Chain A
Amino acid sequence: MIRTENVTKYFNRGNPDEVIAINDVSIEIKKGDFTVLKGPSGSGKTTLLSLIGCMSRPTSGKVIVENRDVSRLPERFMTEVRRNTFGFIFQQFHLIKGITVSDNVMLPLYPTGIKPSKLRKRAEEILINLGMGSRKDFPVQKLSGGEQQRTAIARALINNPDIILADEPTAHLDTHLSEEFLSIMRNLQQEGKTIVVATHDPLVYEKDCVNLIVEMRDGMVKDIIKKN
């Protein structure tokens, strides 16, 4: 499903402030896996997540998604892969303030040309499934942290992606809301989706549903733990 082969990523290469964020990382994630990229801040887990999600390109090495090398794809095809394959949940949620919950959820599919009425129906179905049906017309800035995250999850699901990528999803949530988030992720996994979460929260990586832990430090893979 997802494979990285000797992936290295430099930032500001050739400059005095050059940083090697990922160094020779090779991992393999199978379809339906719930994978955690674990490690302290600066270990490279967010960079690896963005490389997997086609949000940046590796300096060297290969990123293979569904048997396709995406690391050298032109920008347009990268966007296509990103839109059709991945759903992103960001640490800060990154919702667009000033518009409603349902408008935020529909946003990824605006450029696809699907009729607004059809899009809205689809967004409302997802929001209802996530317990957010009553909040669909709320401006997102008026939502609680947990509601904002569920909106972000709904947005990640609108394109019915095979792979969900989440970056530090529980960083701003209390234990109860973190459990709620994990419960949603477990359900998605059971629906056959592949989940990749970058986190250093034990509440996440100690969960039973997690079957692959990639432990990272200083941009390198320190350990890979497979669970059944």
Chain B
Amino acid sequence: MALEKHRNILDYTLQALLRRKFKNIGIILVFTFVIFMLSSILFLSYSLRQEAHLILQDSPEIVVQKMRAGRHELIPINLEKDIRKIPGVSSTEPRYWGYYYDSGAKANYTILGIGTAILKNNRLLNGRMPLPHEKNVAAIGRGIADVRIIKKDIGSTLYLQAADGRWMNFNIIGIFESDSEIITSDLIIISEDDFKILNNMPEGMATDLIVHVSNETEIPTVAKKVKEQFPDSRPILRDEIIRTYDAVFGWRSGLIITLFTGALIAFIILAWDKATGLSAEEKQEIGILKAIGWETSDVLEMKFWEGLVISLTSFISGLILAYVHIFFLGASLFAPALKGWSVIYPDFKLTPFIDFYQIATLTAITIVPYIASTIIPSWKASITDPDTVMRG
């Protein structure tokens, strides 16, 4: 009996919504757009952060760079043995990395010459990593495969021009999975020996040094000691990089949301105006329903369903559109603002990561106020005497 009552009222609500379809479609379109924009920003920034976390969790605890005049330069490998003597340090190794500008694709690639330690970190790779001294083989990111390799698959050949002008060819033996695309999309991994040839690196020098610390709590202390012992060095902690990613994506998404605030306020005004400004027809309808035997709670239930149907339809539509926009269309609307220059080229596809807490927050700040703004004016109309209806 009680269930039938709610069903009857819901049926009538749907009829009522169809009767005012132009007004309601207008609200749904604007509401959907707002949810689409907000969800897109949240999906994108959260996915970028998650991708960064996923990759960086396997990165070394400390990276030591040499600085001169405030700029990073090559570091002598023999510093390793002094750093290893610092209590808490379990191992060190040189790292070789740099950038390669591909004028054909107008893209910057990141090139890494690998040592043995990196061999362990291959869970995101389809295929395998180059061995430390293996010649003319490479593992590459999906973005480079898309831009440079015709077959886009293992077994293809990648051509790179060395610092002395000659061309080097690399057989592709591994391609990174999409889960790591934020970092690996523009990444080329070759052997340490090939890296030195490609970049004409002087012997005994590396790009930076990796420092492994067994006890997590000792990382800041070790970094402090490295800095004290080698004042021209810069120790970079893994946690600092993760925090930087969080801050950068958080700041960028905040910036977009700020820019979008104008549109959001316009929506709130529109929604409020549409929802609260009961037309004479709507007021009369409430009066008629009251006069023929509907209770105030029945009228409010009808308005609740009305608000819920409109806001939920808009919310789900906006959410689906945002999902498609971010994870299928590459966030084409505002990816440049959120991703930053270093990963624009080559383009990459994000792996879907959704923070349900954010979705719940979005629900609370959009659906709940909308339903409230629908119910409150109707409540005011429904507690007045239906007598006025008698007077036309």
CA distance A88 to B288 in the complex (A): 10
Nearest B residue to A81 by beta-carbon distance? B293
Q: Which of these binds chain A: B95-103, B225-233, B384-392?
A: B384-392
Question: How many Å from the CB of B278 to the closest CB on chain A?
Answer: 15
Interface of chain A residues 36 through 56 with chain B (CB within 8 A)? 46-47, 49-50, 55-56
Sorted nearest first, the 5 A-B pairs with minimum C-beta distance are: A83-B293, A113-B5, A98-B19, A56-B387, A110-B8
Q: Is A130 an interface residue (CB 8 A)?
A: no
Q: Is B295 an interface residue (CB 8 A)?
A: yes
Q: Are B295 and A110 in contact (CB under 8 A)?
A: no
Interface of chain B residues 98 through 119 with chain A (CB within 8 A)? none
Interface of chain B residues 280 through 332 with chain A (CB within 8 A)? 284-285, 288-296, 298
CA distance A47 to B383 in the complex (A): 18
Known contacts A50-B387, A76-B295, A110-B5: does B15 contact A103 (CB below 8 Å)?
yes
Q: Is B269 an interface residue (CB 8 A)?
A: no
Q: Is B273 an interface residue (CB 8 A)?
A: no
Q: Is B1 an interface residue (CB 8 A)?
A: yes
Q: Which residues of A have CB within 8 Å of B19? A: 97-99
Q: Are B294 and A114 in contact (CB under 8 A)?
A: no
Question: How many Å from the CB of B217 to the closest CB on chain A?
Answer: 65
Nearest B residue to A167 by beta-carbon distance? B390
Mask, B26-62, CB within 8 Å of A = 1, is 0000000000000000000000000000000000000
Q: Is A115 an interface residue (CB 8 A)?
A: yes
Nearest A residue to B19 by beta-carbon distance? A98
Number of A-B contacts (CB under 8 A): 95
Q: Are A55 and B387 in contact (CB under 8 A)?
A: yes
What are 12 pairs between A and B in contact, CB < 8 Å?
A49-B390, A50-B385, A50-B387, A79-B290, A79-B294, A82-B291, A90-B389, A96-B288, A103-B15, A113-B8, A114-B4, A159-B293
Residue in A55, A98, A111, A112 whose CB lies within 8 Å of B291 = A55
Mask, A171-213, CB within 8 Å of B = 1, is 0000000000000000000000000000000000000000000
CA distance A50 to B387 in the complex (A): 6
Nearest A residue to B5 by beta-carbon distance? A113
Q: Which residues of A have CB within 8 Å of B5? A: 110-113
Q: Is B248 an interface residue (CB 8 A)?
A: no
Q: Is B2 an interface residue (CB 8 A)?
A: yes
Q: Is A155 an interface residue (CB 8 A)?
A: yes
> How many residues belonging to A are interface residues under a CB distance threshold of 8 Å?
36
Q: Is B11 an interface residue (CB 8 A)?
A: yes
Q: Is B337 an interface residue (CB 8 A)?
A: no
Q: Which residues of A have CB within 8 Å of B15? A: 98-99, 103
CA distance A57 to B383 in the complex (A): 13
Q: Is A75 an interface residue (CB 8 A)?
A: yes
Q: Which residues of B have CB within 8 Å of A98? A: 15, 18-19
Q: Which residues of B have CB within 8 Å of A13? A: none
Mask, A108-127, CB within 8 Å of B = 1, is 11111111100100000000
Nearest A residue to B1 by beta-carbon distance? A113
Question: Apart from A55-B387, A99-B19, what are 17 other A-B pairs with CB-CB below 8 Å?
Answer: A46-B391, A50-B385, A55-B291, A56-B387, A75-B295, A75-B296, A83-B292, A91-B390, A98-B15, A108-B292, A111-B5, A113-B1, A113-B2, A113-B3, A115-B4, A116-B11, A119-B8
Binding site for A on B (CB under 8 A): 1-5, 7-9, 11-12, 15, 18-19, 284-285, 288-296, 298, 383, 385-387, 389-392
CA distance A88 to B4 in the complex (A): 25
Q: Are A110 and B385 in contact (CB under 8 A)?
A: no
Nearest B residue to A109 by beta-carbon distance? B293
Q: Are B292 and A88 in contact (CB under 8 A)?
A: yes
Q: Are A111 and B387 in contact (CB under 8 A)?
A: no
Q: Which residues of B have CB within 8 Å of A47? A: 387
Residue in B4, B383, B385, B390 whose CB lies within 8 Å of A46 = B390
Chain A CB within 10 A, most for which of B3, B4, B383: B4
Q: Are B295 and A111 in contact (CB under 8 A)?
A: yes
Nearest A residue to B383 by beta-carbon distance? A75
Q: Is A94 an interface residue (CB 8 A)?
A: yes
Q: Which residues of A have CB within 8 Å of B392? A: 90-92, 94
Q: Are A111 and B385 in contact (CB under 8 A)?
A: no
Question: How many Å from the CB of A115 to the closest CB on chain B?
Answer: 6
CA distance A57 to B390 in the complex (A): 14
Nearest B residue to A198 by beta-carbon distance? B390
Nearest A residue to B288 by beta-carbon distance? A94
CA distance A130 to B159 in the complex (A): 89
Q: Which residues of B have CB within 8 Å of A110? A: 5, 8-9, 11-12, 294, 298
Q: Is A19 an interface residue (CB 8 A)?
A: no
Q: Is A107 an interface residue (CB 8 A)?
A: yes
Q: Are A96 and B389 in contact (CB under 8 A)?
A: no
Q: Are A108 and B8 in contact (CB under 8 A)?
A: no
CA distance A56 to B387 in the complex (A): 6
